[in-house]
Amino acid sequence: MAERVPLKSRPLDLVYFLFFLMHIPATLLIDLQAIYPTAMVPKVIAQLPILYVQMSGDPLIGGGMGYFGTEETSVWFKTFLFLEAIFQLPTFVLGARALYNNSHSIYPLLLVYAASTTTTTLPCLSVILATPLAPIAAVGAITSAQRLLLLSSYLPFFLLPLAMTVDMATRVSALIKAGVSAEDQKKSK
């Protein structure tokens, strides 16, 4: 393990660390409600996505929760939610812990996470951009203000993982080069 360097001395790691910590409650309390058994969700928590969808008109969360009719049209999105539950959520915990401890061994997992998340968020952005605009909120349409709100909500969850993909690919590449160089030096002795 690398020497423990404070997070404040590693600005990108601090951003990733805070991103993961912030994402844990959002995932547990809002995103994954679409796949939880309804009896498992306390009523006060069950209100969170309802209030969010009323405010934002989010066609993804609204569709995944069944607020806009049948959930079958949102099967692809629910698949992404299962991926969030079984892969992303554990990665948030492992990533935050490893980044806090300055453990470089987490870089390959964070590279896979970031590339996967970028790939799954892009279709979500496409849905938001393709959702028709209307002067007032209606099922199947959103207002300009709602689109702006949705883009400001989803875009950071695309851009940060995209930047993380490039960053972690660079870090993993540097570690591989260092390992190959060390092996070459060992062989030449």
Give the range of the structural domain holding residue 22, as residue numbers without chain letter.
Answer: 8-180
- What are the two backbone dihedrals, phi and then psi, of residue 37, each rounded to the nearest 5 degrees? -65, 135
CA 129 to chain centre: 19
The stretch 20-48 carries a mean pLDDT of 94
Could you read off the pLDDT of 102-139 as tens digits, one per residue?
Answer: 999 999 999 999 999 999 999 999 999 999 999 998 87
Is 187 part of a structural domain of the chain?
A: no
Is 33 part of a structural domain of the chain?
A: yes
Two structure tokens written together for 159: 């851009």
Q: Which residue has the higher pLDDT, 51 or 74?
A: 51
| Tokens 């690919």 found at | 169
**What is the residue-averaged pLDDT of the chain?**
93
| Tally of structural domains, the chain | 1
Q: Which residue has the higher pLDDT, 140 or 168?
A: 168
Is 2 part of a structural domain of the chain?
A: no
Is the distance from CB of 165 to CB of 85 less than 8 angstroms? no
As a whole number of angstroms, the distance between CA 105 and CA 82 comes to 25
